[in-house]
Structure 1
Amino acid sequence: MMMVVMMMVVMMVVVMMILLDQVCTLAAPSSACMRSVDMTHVLRWRPPLAACDTALLYSVQFQGEFELMHLKGTWLNAPECQLIPHTRCDLTFDLGSDSDYNLRVRAQCGSELSAWTELSPPFNRRDTVLMAPAMSVTAVGDALQVTFAKLPLTAVVSVTVWKSGDELQAVVYTMPADQAVLHVAALQEGAEYCVRAQTVLDARIRSGSTDAECVFITGRPDGAWKRPTTVGVTVIAMAALLFAVFWSVVHCRPHACQSYFHKEPLPRSLDPDWDIQIQVSPEEAELYEPIHVSAAP
């Protein structure tokens, strides 16, 4: 009886090993790691050492706190990273909360699947590395225009502005990352102002500060000369036009003037020599008799 039981156990172990060999004959990816900079999260790994006769493809899954606690440990497929040929997966839009995430990747060669390689330890997006923002500063009239390149979507930018030589009186402005441009108006004309900025996620996650950039405030752009210049050009143009008209009238030759200034005849209603004739009917004519007046002797 004991021998029969032992033989059955051995057979079960052999069957399980055969099944495992059929399911996971491909080596698993190795060295899974997360690189997260400015809230862009990219999972990377190394391909398995075994050769593959066809294209080697990879699939990635993630499991957050919600899936772990409320969905009985369910793993979700990363939609953009299923059967991909690359050894990297951008999970920026999949890891949408500040909880810990378990991540794993496996390889596939034809019908062969590798075991899952899990990231250790779990990843939390609060561990991202913030870089100093790319910033440019220009003077626009009596204002500063501070422009930033691509910023982390969930971050804010802290911008410090001060008059050169008076950094103790600096003013700090906070700007959401999606705004990208900050205007600081009503500054002193002719003075030099300096700007420094850093990216902030929360009280404990801050980037390094940019180098200070200083510019001079020039006042209203072109305002000091554009208006007088416009008025002067207008006056000169009008004077030239009047002079040309006066000169033309004075030096105009008779035949040339007649061709330029043609006299139109008066309408008949305004002609003083117009002979007005009133038609009188024969009956009315008989009512009038000539009266002869003779002078007294």
Structure 2
Amino acid sequence: MSVYLCVVVLTILTVCAYGGIPNKPTNVLLTSHNMNLVLRWDPPEGTANDTVYTTEYKSSVTIFRTGCVNISTLQCDFTPFNLSVYGKYTGRVWAVQRRERSMCAESNTITLDKDSFIDAPIVTLLSNGPTLEVIIKDPLFWISTLRDVYNSATYNITYWKKGQKEKARFISNVQQNRVVLNDLDPLTKYCVQAQINTDRNRNPSNTSDTVCESTTNEKESLWMAVVVVCVVLTVAVVLVVVTVVHWKSILKFFYPKDALPLEFIESLPATRSSPVYLAMRNSSPVVEKYDPISVSAVDELNLLEAAGSSCSKKHEDTERRKKKRLKNTD
């Protein structure tokens, strides 16, 4: 009996260790950051090295759809799966070990436009005399843009003299992304932060990094403007003077006097349309016929001798004709 009990216990332990159903994942959480959708979880207790996970997701108007399949990581990004910025989503995950699947562990439910965490905006400062221009750039969203999702989003701007944040001043519900701060002291360094507020999101954005810039004196700003204007006028005057002095050369460059003869220009269209030109353009190249000839050194000597003998005969005939003419005259 004791032997039988030992066998049963060993069998149960073996099945549990190697062939049992794995535990389901824990701490399953669905989150959104800048309008993405990511499911995260912790591995179950006693997880083997070869454990993989399969996930699904659904919206409030659809059934569960397949997400990541047989992955070894502890998160799945649903963002590429054609999401809606106004959708309400839920996720779930299974642990798979040696073809055995655990029970599913379901996540929380979130609505993207209401629960997504929004990054801080990017702030840039431009100094213009005793004023500062604040330029705000929205964070990039994974789906759509901030203004398309939250068309009535506004900014909260906080600014203070450097080292005096406890005396900070605030501007709320600013709709423009460029704001000029006028109530500043000249030749003073100011620091600025900004934050995004939306009409629907439960989570205000993070506060931007602190950016500092110094104002300048109004006279210095005017002086710089005068310098810029003087430089522009100087360059313009130089260009005008160069144009006036060298206007003939410039005209010759753009409108040269040398031109083709009028007769030649008038004959070009006629030449191109003439039958001779068209026939020459459309005709194929002429193939010349020839017979091969080979000449050796012996043949060259024979030819020279023959030519010499023929010449001597012609000379003798000519002398004979002259003698006959002389006899006839006598």
- TM-score by length of structure 1 reads 0.49
Give the number of the structure whose alpha-carbon radius of gyration is greater: 2
Q: Greater share of helix residues, 1 or 2?
A: 2
